[in-house]
Amino acid sequence: MSWIRTALCLSTVCFAGSVCLPLQAGDSIQFNRDIRPILSDSCFQCHGPDEAKRQGGLRLDQAEAALRGGESGPAIVPGDPLASEIRKRILSTDPDLKMPPAASGKTISPEQLATLDQWIREGAEYQGHWAFLPIRRPDVPDQTGGLSPIDAFLRQRQQQAGLMPAPEASRETLTLYGRDGI
C-alpha cells in the first residue's frame, strides 16, 4: 500500500520546502494563506493594483474596492457567496461574462471556488500583505517525541490532513545526506 501513500503525498505536499496540504473541513480561511494566491494568480492581472490594466472598474486586491465592486455593483457580499458577483462570473456559461476570460488562459478549479465560497461565507475578511503585518510568535503545537518547533507545526498539519510522516530513513541514508556531521 505504500505507493498509495506516496501518491497521496505527492499530490498534496509540494516540494521546495513549501507545504500545501489541502484545507480540512473546520479549518477557517485566511486571506493571505488561502485567498490571495488564487486571486493573485487568476484575477489581479485585470483587477489588481495596476490602474492602467484594470478592467470593468473592478479592483479585487483591497476590501473596500471589492465590496464596492465595479460597473455592475458589489463583487463580494460578505456572508453570501450566492449573491456575490465574482461567484456568478466564475460559474457563468456565457463566454462574454465568464471570469477569468478564456483568452487569459487562467482557470478557477472547483477546489479554489469552494475555498472562495468558504471565505465569503465566513465574512470575506481581507488581510494586509503579510510583509507589512507585525511579526507574531505563534504557539508551538503540543506534540510528543521531542520534535523541533518546525517539525511540530508540520506534524500538526499532517495530522489535520490525515497524513502520516514517512518512516525515519535508515542510518546509512541519513549519514549519506550529512546528518551526524559527516
Residue of 12, 21, 30, 56 that binds ligand HEC (CB under 6 A): 56
Q: Does 55 bind ligand HEC (CB under 6 A)?
A: yes
CA–CA distance, 79 with 178 (Å, rounded to integer): 51
Q: Does 81 bind ligand HEC (CB under 6 A)?
A: no
8 Å CB contact between 73 and 85: yes
Show the cell assigned to 66. Answer: 471589492
8 Å CB contact between 164 and 5: yes
User: Which one, of 102, 152, 133, lies nearest residue 30 by Cα?
Assistant: 133
Q: Does 71 bind ligand HEC (CB under 6 A)?
A: yes
Judged by CB under 6 A, the number of residues near ligand HEC is 24
Instruction: Give, as ranges, the residues between 31 and 50 that touch ligand HEC (CB under 6 A).
Output: 42-43, 45-47
User: Which one, of 46, 35, 41, lies nearest residue 107 by Cα?
Assistant: 41
Per-position x/- string for 140-179, each x denoting binding to ligand HEC as judged by CB under 6 A, each - no binding: ----------------------------------------
Q: Does 108 bind ligand HEC (CB under 6 A)?
A: yes
Show the cell assigned to 32. Answer: 493571505
Q: Does 69 bind ligand HEC (CB under 6 A)?
A: yes
8 Å CB contact between 22 and 111: yes
What is the number of other CB atoms lying within 10 angstroms of the CB of residue 52?
4
Residue of 29, 35, 77, 90 that binds ligand HEC (CB under 6 A): 90
Residue of 59, 77, 85, 155 that binds ligand HEC (CB under 6 A): 85
CA–CA distance, 23 with 33 (Å, rounded to integer): 11
Q: Tell me which residues touch ligand HEC (CB under 6 A).
A: 42-43, 45-47, 55-56, 58, 69-72, 75, 85-86, 89-90, 97, 99-101, 104, 106, 108
